[in-house]
Structure 1
Amino acid sequence: MKHNTHGIDHIGLTVPDIEDATTFFIEAFSAEIVYDTYTKKETPRTSHETTTRLGIAENMAERAIRMIGLPNGPQIELFEFEGGTQRSAITPADFGWQHVAFYVDDIDQAVHDIERAGGKRNADPIELSGVEAGKGNLFCYCKTPWGSTIELISYPTPQPYLEKASRRKWPV
């Protein structure tokens, strides 16, 4: 018997500073803190069990974990680590989860909010094409203050994929 998948519960994101990242998501996306799983007031987690469970180098320490919630959709679980060496954020051309897309009503205001919160746009919003096309349907890639890629997407006009799709991206 196959299991029942309900959807994405949360997306894990490692950040250089959990407080700064929390502020960015609050200011840019109206996120809220749901809970702290592990705080900087506690001793850093450096055990072999922790590094094995997470698949990280033995010289790294888990410093803090916080779950933040967006107005709709999955949560984002923020992680902060210390010690060892950390690589900078990947780009869309690197292997691995490359970006998180945020569905917004007003893409220009969302870009403004990201920039006000310390992020930056890669380029101005452009029209969606093909099965996503429609009047006012736009997307824009941006960077967080620490360099992770985020996409803003807005589609006020029904997208052509809906004509043949057996499933919608968002419920009606």
Structure 2
Amino acid sequence: MIRIGNGPNLEVFEISGQQSAEAGLTDLGLNYMGFYCDDIDSAPARLVAGGGQALSEVHENSRYADSEGEGSVHVKAPRGMLVELQSIPAGHHYLEGCTTRVSMPEPRP
């Protein structure tokens, strides 16, 4: 069981036996997972050191995201899952009149 900050828990299993080709984004099942990270500059290197493959450099999240330390990057995990890392230290930008808000992790002390 992996505790993800103040959010959900993630339980990971290793299945032995018959192996198949890695799943694609349009296949059924879990094939993508996104994580919020505090340090977008060092987190991708840790995934690559663990056997992942960087699919992009860190880039801006959107045309509205321009705060220091923000960005996102995609990494392919060793068994093919697409992992997105994202950091938005100044929070989301909302267009005028928008009433929907995105859940964000509580800042670390």
TM-score range, shorter chain: 0.7 to 0.9
Residue correspondence of structure 1 range 2-151 to structure 2 within 5 A: 67-83=1-17, 85-130=18-63, 133-136=64-67, 137-151=70-84
Aligned-partner residue type, residue 167 of structure 1: R
**Aligned-pair distance for 1:101?**
0.6
Normalized per residue, the structure richer in strand is: 1
TM-score (norm 2): 0.74
Deviation at 1:69, TM superposition (A): 2.1
Instruction: Give unpaired runs (5+ residues) of structure 2.
Output: none
Q: Report which of the two structures shows the higher radius of gyration computed on alpha carbons.
A: 1
Return the structure number with greater relative CO, CA threshold 8 A, min gap 6: 2
Give the letter aligned to residue 72 of structure 1: N
Unmatched segments (≥5 aa) in structure 1: 1-66
CA RMSD of aligned residues (A): 2.4
Aligned-pair identity in percent equals: 34
CA distance in 1 between partners of 2:22 and 2:95 (Å): 34
How many residues of Structure 1 are paired with residues of Structure 2 in the alignment?
103
SS at match of 2:94: helix
Cα offset, 1:152, TM superposition: 0.2
More helix by share: 1
Q: Do the aligned partners of 1:135 and 1:156 also contact (CA within 8 Å) in 2?
A: no
- Give the TM-score of the pair, scaled to structure 1: 0.50
